[in-house]
Structure 1
Amino acid sequence: MKESINYAGDFNGIGLSIERFAEKMSEALLQINEASEQVAYGSEHLSGGAQELSQGVTEQANAIEELSKTFAGIALHTKETAENATKAKQISAGSRDAITRGYAQMNEMVMAMDEISNTSNEIGKIIKNIDDIAFQTNILALNAAVEAARAGASGKGFAVVADEVRNLAGKSAESAKNTANLIEKALLAIENGLKIVSTTSTTLDEVISSSEKSAEAIQSIADASVEQQEFIRQVNDGVDQISAVVRANSTNAEESAATSEELSGQAQLMKELIGKFQLQREILTKTNEDESE
């Protein structure tokens, strides 16, 4: 029990007031002490949680940084792919133009070969006429030689001329025949050339068609690469925003941890200050211990 102090005279009321004030103060300090203990306990847990949060946020920041680097690498690779696709498209377009020019030149060559073939046919007709004329000349020369032989000595000179004419006709016929053979060979060569040109033309058509399809495919790759670049840019923007939020959270977590530690220190200091007072609960405990003895 609490020991009562008797005050004399007018001091009795003052003494009682002091005792009541001491009791109220003791109760208040007891409540403050309990509150400071709770604050210290909560501050320690809050500090630990803030430190764990700060560590987790730091790990998130590192992971996001690695992710950002990865996307940057992908963006660079996609950009190179788009550039290469554009170059390939230009090369393909150049090849297609060259093939188209070659195709046009080949058509011109076919037209020239057709003209040569037609001209050769006309020359063949002329040579046929020459051969016919040579044949008829040869017949006439032969008839003239027969008539000269009948004329005897007076027709001897004419017989010589007739022989020369017949020889020239034979040579003309032989030359015409050789020329006709050459023209025939030339026509065969032209015909074979036209077949080769026709086959080459078909092949060039297929090459041009394939080149156009390749150009379309390359254009699709380039377009897809550009779209992918835009998508990656948007993702990078999102990652940058997340990174900024994570950095802000990291800063807030560090500040929260520091504040918690400071609050824990202030609570401990408050406990120490309150510990300097002999509180009512301690007085009662000590009194009970004295009475039990």
Structure 2
Amino acid sequence: MLKNLSIGKKFTAAFSLIGIAVVIFGFYIYTQVSGMRDNMLNFTDDTLPAVLEIERLNEEIIRIRQDQYAVLTFSDPAERREILGEIDVMKRDYSRALDAYEESLWYDNERAIFTRIQNHWDQYNQELSAFPDRVEAGQLTAAQKILSSSFGTFGQLDKALKEMSELTQGFITSNRTSMLNQVSTVSMTIIGVLLAVIAFMIVVAVVFTRAIINPLRLVMEQSSAIAKGDLTYQLDRSQIGNDEMGKLADSSIAMQDSLRSLIEEVIAAVTQLSSAVEEVSAVSSQTSSGMQNQQHEVSQVATAMAQMKATVADVAQNTESSSTAANEASEQSRMGAQDIDGMVGSIRKVAEDMRQTGDTVNELDQQSKQINMVVDVIRDIAEQTNLLALNAAIEAARAGESGRGFAVVADEVRTLAGRTQDSTGEITAIIEKLQQFATQARNATTQSCESIEQCVEQGDQAQQLVRGIETSVENIADMGMQIASACGEQDSVADELSRNIERINDSAQEVAGGADQTAQACNELSQLAQSLQSTMQRFRLTK
């Protein structure tokens, strides 16, 4: 469950625990410090003033006792009255001090000792109640006896004051011990809590480091395998949670799958392109061979036409020798008819070859369009790969310093996608050239077919004329004038046929040139397909 939390939630939970521990620890420290403050205030406001007050009371009672003895040594009554007045003031102050001290009593044992002090002080004052009167009356001996008789009470009062002093000293010792114990407890608690927090932070650091480093190491291994062209590497997704590292792993796996699909489609397209190039190359070879045969046959037709023209001239010149000329003309007419039949058959054959060439060129155009569609698919896949690489780079940038290695891999993938797009652009340009050549070849083939159809029509006309000549020659005895006219017409037809044959020859040369250009384009496209196939072989798609 922990590894499925996001990194932010993990850090929040860890620091929340630390914060709660710090708050609890702070509350504990506050409680201990409050207790130490109370003990300190008790020491400074109660215990220490009580000790000082007891010491002062002890000193005051001793001073009163000393002044009482001292008054007996003065012979001047005025001085004795003055000393007695001071003693009376000190006694009143002493009584007020006892009353004030009584208000600061807390403990029963302290109150019991104070009660003894109060009782002894009252008894002491009662025993010395007649002392001032005896001193003022000058009865110093009697006054001394009264003072001496109060020595026991004074001793008990002094003893009670010393007990109270020892008790307050015990309070000081107790407060000191309590404060030292509290300081020691707080110190040990602080040390323990600090050690526990440090240990917890070390555990959190180790756990979080493993939670980030281990998945990142797995993703880096996959990215390294992809960079080396190994698309068969399988990332163990079960070792990575569903946090940001899991999303990064999912993106890397999706990128690997998309890249594998892209490479497979490119390889299939390259294979199809190679097959299409081979077919187009074969068609171009057939077209070139057909054009050569056509040129040879057209040459034969031109020779036949020249022979026919010479024959017609001979017929015109030998009109006077009608029998001989008729026989020769009849023979030449039959030969001309045979030649024209052969010419018409050859022209029809050329027309059929041109139609096949046109069909082949149309097939080449269709194959080029299919190749163009495949190239569009490759370009779309390259753009998707570029987008995936860009998203991976953005995620890596969000990851900060830990995602820098993956950002380099994403940049390499984007570079490969860019190179693929450039290659598809080059293939598209070549295919467009191939389509242009196919269009030119189709237009030339169409023109050639039209010219050949004209030649066929003219061949039929020539055949009819030759048959007319043959009929005329058989009746040459009766149609001498018609022979001259027919020879003139035959000469004109022969000239027209010669011009048509020349046009057919020119068209055949253009078609042959287009076939050569198509073959050259096929060779370039084949080299490009081989180069692309060599590039794709860098990637290993199966184990």
TM-score of the superposed pair, with normalisation by structure 2: 0.28
Runs of 4 or more consecutive aligned structure 1 residues displaced over 3 Å after TM superposition = 227-232
1:231 and 1:187 mapped to 2: Cα distance? 59
Aligned counterpart for 2:438 among listed residues 171, 190, 198: 190
1:88: Cα distance to partner? Answer: 1.3
1:86 maps to 334
Aligned counterpart for 1:75 among listed residues 323, 334, 337: 323
1:181 and 1:73 mapped to 2: Cα distance? 70
Aligned counterpart for 1:133 among listed residues 361, 381, 384: 381
8 A Cα contact 1:79 1:229, kept in partner: no
Aligned counterpart for 1:157 among listed residues 397, 405, 417: 405
Aligned counterpart for 1:204 among listed residues 436, 439, 452: 452
1:168 maps to 416
Determine if the alignment matches structure 1 residue 119 to structure 2 residue 367. yes
Q: Is there any run of 5+ residues in structure 1 with no aligned partner, and where?
A: 1-70, 233-293
2:447 and 2:380 mapped to 1: Cα distance? 39
Q: 2:431 is matched by which residue type in structure 1?
A: I
Of 150-159 and 183-192, deviating more is 150-159
- Superposed, 1:257-276 pairs within 5 Å as none
1:82 and 1:222 mapped to 2: Cα distance? 5
8 A Cα contact 1:99 1:204, kept in partner: yes
1:101 maps to 349
1:84: Cα distance to partner? Answer: 1.0
Deviations 1:27-47 (A, max 9, x none): xxxxxxxxxxxxxxxxxxxxx
Determine if the alignment matches structure 1 residue 214 to structure 2 residue 428. no
1:6 maps to none
Aligned counterpart for 1:181 among listed residues 429, 437, 442: 429
Deviations 1:89-137 (A, max 9, x none): 1111111111111110111011111111111111111111111111111
8 A Cα contact 2:322 2:476, kept in partner: no
1:114 and 1:120 mapped to 2: Cα distance? 10
1:118 and 1:214 mapped to 2: Cα distance? 40
8 A Cα contact 1:149 1:156, kept in partner: yes
1:169 and 1:206 mapped to 2: Cα distance? 54
1:116 and 1:199 mapped to 2: Cα distance? 18
2:479 and 2:444 mapped to 1: Cα distance? 51
1:185 and 1:225 mapped to 2: Cα distance? 57
Change (3 A) 1:112 1:201: same
- The structure, 1 or 2, with the larger RCO (C-alpha pairs under 8 Å, 6+ apart) is 1
CA RMSD in angstroms comes to: 2.3
Q: 1:220 is matched by which residue type in structure 2?
A: G
**How many residue pairs were aligned?**
162
1:74 and 1:138 mapped to 2: Cα distance? 90
Q: 2:416 is matched by which residue type in structure 1?
A: L
1:174 and 1:214 mapped to 2: Cα distance? 58
1:187: Cα distance to partner? Answer: 1.2
Change (3 A) 1:159 1:100: same
Q: 2:443 is matched by which residue type in structure 1?
A: K
2:446 and 2:320 mapped to 1: Cα distance? 53
Of 99-108 and 73-82, deviating more is 73-82
8 A Cα contact 1:131 1:176, kept in partner: yes
1:145: Cα distance to partner? Answer: 1.3
1:223 maps to 471
* Percentage of pairs with the same residue: 30
1:229: Cα distance to partner? Answer: 6.9
1:157: Cα distance to partner? Answer: 2.6
2:326 and 2:424 mapped to 1: Cα distance? 73
Q: 2:373 is matched by which residue type in structure 1?
A: K
1:228: Cα distance to partner? Answer: 3.7
1:85 and 1:174 mapped to 2: Cα distance? 67
1:78 and 1:187 mapped to 2: Cα distance? 57
1:210 and 1:143 mapped to 2: Cα distance? 71
Q: Aligned with 1:162: secondary structure?
A: helix
Q: Is there any run of 5+ residues in structure 2 with no aligned partner, and where?
A: 1-318, 481-543
Q: 2:389 is matched by which residue type in structure 1?
A: A
1:125 and 1:190 mapped to 2: Cα distance? 17
Highest CA radius of gyration, 1 or 2? 2
8 A Cα contact 1:141 1:162, kept in partner: yes
